[in-house]
């Protein structure tokens, strides 16, 4: 089963050219990030999110819901494959907030995309791009990033680059970094060994069920053209396009449900609370 493209495009408000070009990839990625919020509500209420495409379409496309990285990038990968792109799935280690020397498990999913020849740009690493519609944060990718080590790319007002680290094993480690003020911050690291569905499923189950998983608390994000919203437990952070940040508390279940519906565009299921 594959996702219904017409329904998906309607969900994200996209009506562009469906040829597998770089311009199509750029506009689709941005439309997806704007159209479908990041959220982990299923985990908070005690459910392991399904990665079956039928379930993903029912939830993210038809159900006024969002999802986290495994859901979002699994859905997006199927859409891109239907359009004619070659997609490779990589599992990565989130580095945001990690202590020096800390090695975290591979609990994030990113996508390597190959744009067919003739639809590329100079210096793009042979038509290979890193795409991620499931990170959610204010520093997340909004456009495809050429898989060229060290090359800085600005897209939609955000700057990113990929750097290579030497590793003890045979596979070099790629690190996605984002520019924040005067410094580069590390978002996620990964290697170029393709992740098969069983490995992705295990990582998804681990994130949803491990007692020390950060996703055991409510975490919702939404990117807008003019800013970004982030809900962490009971704390709502608004980041304007100019970088201005305001923080407020969400008081009570009813206030939470109203916030999810009105500002995040989410129809919350029964049982959702600010904290588990």
| Strands of the chain, DSSP E | 38-39, 86-94, 108-114, 128-131, 145-146, 153-155, 158-165, 173-180, 183-190, 219-224, 227-232, 235-240, 245-249
What's the burial of 275, exposed, middle or buried (CB within 10 Å: 0-12/13-18/19+)? exposed
Active site residue 228: no
The residue from 32, 108, 160, 228 that is catalytic is 108
Tokens coding 267: 């129809």
The residue from 42, 69, 78, 228 that is catalytic is 69
Tokens coding 114: 């190959």
Cα-trace Rg, the chain: 18
The residue from 42, 132, 139, 228 that is catalytic is 132
Active site residue 182: no
- Rounded distance, CA 256 to CA 253, Å? 5
CB atoms within 10 A of CB 205: 14
Active site residue 78: no
- As annotated, the active-site residues are 69, 108, 132
């Amino acid at each position: 089963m594959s996702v219904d493209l017409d329904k998906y495009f309607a969900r994200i408000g996209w009506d562009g050219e469906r040829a597998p070009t770089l311009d199509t990839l750029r506009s689709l990625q941005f439309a997806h990030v704007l159209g479908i919020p990041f959220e982990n509500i299923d985990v908070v209420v005690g459910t392991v999110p399904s990665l079956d495409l039928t379930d993903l379409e029912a939830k993210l496309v038809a159900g006024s819901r969002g999802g986290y990285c495994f859901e979002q990038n699994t859905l997006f990968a199927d859409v891109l494959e239907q359009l004619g792109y070659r997609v490779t799935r990589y599992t990565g280690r989130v580095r945001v907030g990690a202590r020096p020397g800390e090695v975290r498990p591979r609990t994030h999913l990113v996508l390597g995309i190959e744009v067919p020849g003739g639809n590329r740009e100079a210096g793009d690493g042979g038509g290979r791009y890193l795409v991620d519609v499931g990170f959610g944060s204010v520093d997340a990718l909004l456009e495809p990033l050429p898989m060229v080590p060290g090359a800085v790319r600005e897209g939609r007002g955000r700057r990113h680059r990929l750097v290579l680290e030497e590793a003890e094993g045979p596979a070099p480690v790629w690190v996605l970094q984002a520019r924040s003020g005067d410094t580069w911050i590390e978002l996620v690291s990964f290697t170029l060994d393709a992740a098969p569905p069983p490995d992705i499923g295990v990582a998804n189950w681990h994130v949803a069920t491990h007692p020390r998983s950060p996703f055991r608390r409510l975490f919702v994000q939404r990117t807008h053209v003019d800013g970004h919203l982030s809900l962490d437990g009971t704390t709502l952070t608004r980041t304007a396009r100019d970088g201005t940040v305001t923080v407020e508390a969400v008081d009570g279940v009813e206030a939470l449900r109203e916030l999810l519906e009105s500002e995040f565009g989410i129809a919350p299921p029964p049982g959702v609370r600010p904290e588990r």
